[in-house]
Amino acid sequence: MSIAVRRATLDDLETVRSIGTATYPMHGTFAGSDYVEAGLWKWWSIDAVRRSIVSSTTYLAIDQDAAVGTATVGTLDGEPILWKLYVLPIAQGVGTGSALLSAAIADLPAGSRRLLLEHAEGNDQAATFYLYKGFTELERTEPHSGAGPRDVWMALEL
């Protein structure tokens, strides 16, 4: 695979959304179907993806003209945060997630001290990836959605 990463535009809305709706359901293995259904509506609806492209920076990973992953970086209390990083199963384990993360880090505002993220407790694949990339766990909090697994907050010192 030869992965290229570029910023997404509103023309990519359906492509970004299709990656999310194809990958987000894997959360059902550790969080249950109600959690997945709520998350698909909250994070991957047309309006939610449009907002993330307009108000944050959304990236697409492309392999041979096919979009295989997406990531979104925004801010939380003035700090950069990786809100989403999702890769289609066919493109996992070959550097797609690493390419998205590298592009996001390279694009952070000058002077950024760290990159935050949160993932759902039980998402061992995400936890392993982020720990390998140098993120450290900050805390675990009750889910912001009010239901489902706790949120695991992590940071990468830059």
* 93-136 pLDDT tens trace: 999 999 999 999 999 999 999 999 999 999 999 999 999 999 99
Using CA atoms, how far residue 95 sits from 13, 62, 64, 140, in Å, is 23, 12, 14, 28
CA–CA distance, 140 with 47 (Å, rounded to integer): 29
Reported CATH class of domain 3-157: alpha beta
Give kind and range of the element (H or E) at residue 82: strand 79-87
* 10-40 pLDDT tens trace: 999 999 999 999 999 999 999 999 999 999 9
Supply the DSSP symbol for 109: P
List the chain domain ranges: 3-157
CA–CA distance, 30 with 59 (Å, rounded to integer): 26
Cα 113-81-70 angle, rounded to 5 deg: 125
pTM across the whole model:
0.95
> DSSP letters along 33-49, please?
HHHHHHHHHHHHSHHHH
